[in-house]
Amino acid sequence: MGDRRSHRFTPELLPVIASFYLNSAMVFNQPSLSVIVPVLDGGEDFRRCLQSIRQGETQPSELIVVNDGSRDGSGEIARQFGAKVIDLPWAHGPAFARNRGASIAQGEILFFVDADVTVQRDTLRQVAQTFREQPQVDALIGSYDDQPGAENFTSQYRNLLHHYTHQVSSTEASTFWGACGAVRRSVFLSVGGFDESYRVPCVEDIELGYRFKRAGYCIRLCKGIQVKHLKRWEPVKMIKTDVLCRALPWTELLLRDRQPMNDLNLKRGNQLSVICSFLSLLVVLAPLAPALFGSITLLAFAGIIGLNQDIYRFFLKQRGLVFTLKSMAYHWLFYVYSGMAYAFGLANYQLRSRHTRQPLVPLTTIPLNLRQSAQVQMEQRVATYSSNSTAVPQLTSVGR
């Protein structure tokens, strides 16, 4: 027999015991969390996403994956990680998929995570703790971290720009973010969920955030809650996404809902940068009047640099001089095509409004009974749907 050692209480153990009971109390007092991940052919990035959730120091009450018509076995990957899986026969879009997941969720908090991000070990704890300690917060969004998963320049630039934008923005947000966003389940139900008329990844989360704000709910930007974006961006794909899936639908949303342009990358400095970028295009007229158009062009570029000097300093600190110079060129291009897209969207909106002889109806005029009907339908699905059912739960969301 081995030596029997006595286990006596010593004063040195007191901090350890106190820490154990304190952490236990915090865990048991946390609100229940349902993590919802929509996926379409997620591949290895999706596996890494689920793995990061399962390796977290806090586990969700349930992990729900909505397989949005994948053909690469994403549904089976999700089942390997113990997720509740809803298999959709074809792709309906992330708005539809998230609503399907929310319709069976049991948690007090719905935490939406994209399939191409990984969470940190303490992400779920931070989310639950924020809602527990700040009862006035109805929804929250996080940020990408400053170490993107893809190493090519376009991916690094794109994700660092997103990270910086969130890190310097007000903590009182007016938009939601589906890649890393959480909301109280009762709040989500009260507004009818995501607008399913958005059939591709678009501005469906921004639109939902606007409805939260109009209903009087508080959205908090929690800058310390960060996830890693694994997606690889290429220049053509980035521009196409920015124009077709961001700038154009966001312009219509701003005009339709008469939403002020004062949040995230719609701040006054960004708007002035767009104007300076357009003025810089006058360089093509420099041969006609070199002194005039040359001076305007130089002032325009100086304006862009002055208005964006903080982010250029950030790029310089993070990645060095060469990266910063390339980012400045990308940034100028971003302002040019975003401004063009806004001008086109504005003209298109005005033409359609005149054609209908009346302004397009903002969501604030949707009768309350329609929103309540959507809430009732979601609650009925929660009561009747079981995790081993093969039926696809349906939800009538508030449309445009």
Is 385 inside a domain boundary?
A: no
Is 257 inside a domain boundary?
A: no
The residues facing 87 across adjacent strands are 67
Quick one: tokens of 139? Answer: 């929804």
Place of tokens 């689920």: 50
Among residues 179, 208, 232, the one where a domain terminates is 232
* 223, containing H or E segment: strand 219-229
Is 377 inside a domain boundary?
A: no
Do residues 199 and 284 both lie within one domain?
no
Do residues 217 and 275 both lie within one domain?
no
Look up the CATH number of the domain holding residue 218.
3.90.550.10
How far is residue 160's CA from residue 49's CA, in Å, rounded to a whole number? 20
Is 296 inside a domain boundary?
A: yes
**How many CA atoms within 13 Å lie on the side-chain side of 375?**
12
Do residues 344 and 223 both lie within one domain?
no
- Identify whether the C-beta of residue 61 lies closer than 8 Å to the C-beta of residue 34: yes
Do residues 345 and 223 both lie within one domain?
no
Do residues 224 and 90 both lie within one domain?
yes
Do residues 134 and 199 both lie within one domain?
yes
Quick one: tokens of 31? Answer: 């609100």
Is 373 inside a domain boundary?
A: no
Quick one: tokens of 169? Answer: 């923005």
How far is residue 380's CA from residue 373's CA, in Å, rounded to a whole number? 11
Quick one: tokens of 317? Answer: 């600190």
Task: For the chain, state the CA radius of gyration.
Answer: 24
Do residues 210 and 291 both lie within one domain?
no
Do residues 55 and 146 both lie within one domain?
yes
How far is residue 109's CA from residue 383's CA, in Å, rounded to a whole number? 17
**How many CA atoms within 13 Å lie on the side-chain side of 59?**
9
Do residues 162 and 208 both lie within one domain?
yes
| Domain span at 340 | 264-358
Taking only the tens of pLDDT, the chain with its 400 residues reads: 444 444 454 545 444 444 443 444 345 578 999 999 999 999 999 999 999 999 999 999 999 999 999 999 999 999 999 999 999 999 999 999 999 999 999 999 999 999 999 999 999 999 999 999 999 999 999 999 999 999 999 999 999 999 999 999 999 998 999 999 999 999 999 999 999 999 999 999 999 999 999 999 999 999 999 999 999 999 999 999 999 999 899 888 888 877 665 555 567 788 899 999 989 888 877 778 888 888 888 999 999 999 999 999 999 999 999 999 999 999 999 999 999 998 898 888 888 777 664 444 343 333 333 344 444 444 444 444 434 443 444 443 443 3
Do residues 119 and 170 both lie within one domain?
yes
Whether pTM > 0.85 for this model: the answer is no
Alpha-carbon distances of 332 from 126, 148, 249, 272, rounded to whole Å: 36, 22, 21, 12
- Identify whether the C-beta of residue 241 lies closer than 8 Å to the C-beta of residue 345: no
When divided into structural domains, the chain yields a total of: 2
Is 80 inside a domain boundary?
A: yes
Is 399 inside a domain boundary?
A: no
How far is residue 399's CA from residue 19's CA, in Å, rounded to a whole number? 49
Do residues 135 and 280 both lie within one domain?
no
- Identify whether the C-beta of residue 394 lies closer than 8 Å to the C-beta of residue 116: no
Q: What are phi and psi of 228, to 5 degrees?
A: -95, 130
Is 76 inside a domain boundary?
A: yes
Do residues 78 and 188 both lie within one domain?
yes
How far is residue 59's CA from residue 41's CA, in Å, rounded to a whole number? 25
Best CA proximity match to 98, nearest among 206, 187, 193: 193
